Amino acid sequence: MVQRPLTEEERLSANALATAHLDLVAHVVNQVAMRYPRHVDRQELWSAGAFGLVDAARAYRPETGIPFPRYASIRIRGAIIDSTRSRDWAARSVRRGFRELQLVEERFESEHGRRPADAELAKLLGITPDDLRLRRAAAVNASLLHLDQPDVDDIPLGERIPEQSIDRLPDQAFDHREMVGALEKAVVHLPPIQREVIERYYLKSELLQSIAESMDLTEARVSQIRSEAVNSMRAYFAVIYDGVPDVATDAPGKRSRAAYVAALTGQAPWAGGSADARA
C-alpha cells in the first residue's frame, strides 16, 4: 500500500517525534553491533538506524495502541539489517560460490584419492575453466588481506590488527583488568540514584523512558542524572589515566563531582590541583 504524502503539520510532528527518541538509535545499535565484525563502522549502523527512526515516526499511528519506542525499535533494527545486507550481498555471493567449489573439490578427492584438475573441477561445477579461474580470483580478492602492505600512514596492516590471545599479551591483559576494576569502582561509588541509572541504561540496556517511568521521574531528569554520572566518572578517569578529556567547568554537578573524585582518589576536594581542578 502506498502511503499518502504527509502534510506540513504531520511532517513537523514526525520530525519532532524522531528527535525526541534519538536515543533509541544508539540503544538498538548497541544491541545489534555485537552481531557484526569489528570492521563494520558503528557510525554507519547509527546512520541506517536514524533513517529507520525517521521512517517509523512518519508511519506511526498512535491509534494502533503500540507504544512508539517499541514500534520504532523494530523499524530501526530492520533498517540496520537491511543496510548491512545490501552492502554485503556481493561478498556473500562470492563466498557462497567459493564454498561450493571447495565442497565439489573435497568430494572428488575423497572418491578418487587425488585433487581434480581444473578441467575436471570445472566440468563438475558446470562452468568453463575460465569461469573457474575467475571464481577463485574473486574469492581471493574478497578475503585476502596483504598484511605487509603499508597504508596511507606507511604502517603495515598487520601492525594495526590487535593480537586477540591474552596469553600472548600479558601487559595488555593486566591493563585491561586494571581498567575494568577502575570502572567497577567508579560505578559502585556513584550516588545510589546515579548508579541505578548507569547500571540499568548501560549494563542492562534499558530505555531512558522505561527507567524514568519505574523511578517516577521525567525522562529529561533521568537523562540529566545519567549525564552527571558520566561526567563524574570521566573526571575520575582523568585523574588516574592520561589522555582523558576534561569535563567542562560549567557542567552541572560541579561540587558533587569533586567530592566523588576526592572520595575515590583520597584527595581533598577544592584543594589546589585537586579533583575539582580537573573536573
Angle (CA) 166-172-177 rounded to 5° is 85
Contact between 198 and 190 (Cβ < 8 Å):
yes
Cell numbers placing 1: 500500500
Inform me whether the pLDDT recorded for 141 exceeds 80.
no
* Amino acid in position 162: P
97/132 Cα distance (integer angstroms): 10
Mean of per-residue pLDDT scores for the chain: 77
Inform me whether the pLDDT recorded for 42 exceeds 50.
yes
Please indicate whether residue 192 or residue 144 has the higher confidence score (pLDDT). Answer: 192
Please name every residue paired with 212 in a beta bridge, in sequence order, or none if there are none.
none
Inform me whether the pLDDT recorded for 256 exceeds 80.
yes
Please indicate whether residue 178 or residue 259 has the higher confidence score (pLDDT). Answer: 259
pLDDT of residue 181: 78
pLDDT of residue 15: 86
Cell numbers placing 30: 548497541
pLDDT of residue 173: 57
Residues 6+ apart with CB under 8 A from 235: 246, 247, 257, 258, 260, 261, 275, 278, 279
Instruction: Kindly indicate the confidence band of residue 162, based on its pLDDT and cuts at 50, 70 and 90.
Output: low
pLDDT of residue 192: 94
Q: How far apart are the first and last CA of the chain?
A: 55
Contact between 261 and 239 (Cβ < 8 Å):
yes
33/243 Cα distance (integer angstroms): 26
Instruction: Kindly indicate the confidence band of residue 270, based on its pLDDT and cuts at 50, 70 and 90.
Output: very low
The SS3 assignment for 25 reads helix
* Amino acid in position 203: L
% of the chain surpassing 70 pLDDT:
73
233/265 Cα distance (integer angstroms): 12
Element (DSSP H or E) covering residue 173: helix 170-188
Instruction: Kindly indicate the confidence band of residue 145, based on its pLDDT and cuts at 50, 70 and 90.
Output: very low
What is the set of domains in the chain, with CATH numbers?
A: 8-89 (1.10.1740.10), 91-143 (1.20.140.160), 172-278 (1.10.10)
Lowest-pLDDT range, 24-33, 160-169, 254-263? Answer: 160-169
Element (DSSP H or E) covering residue 250: none
124/136 Cα distance (integer angstroms): 15
Instruction: Kindly indicate the confidence band of residue 144, based on its pLDDT and cuts at 50, 70 and 90.
Output: very low
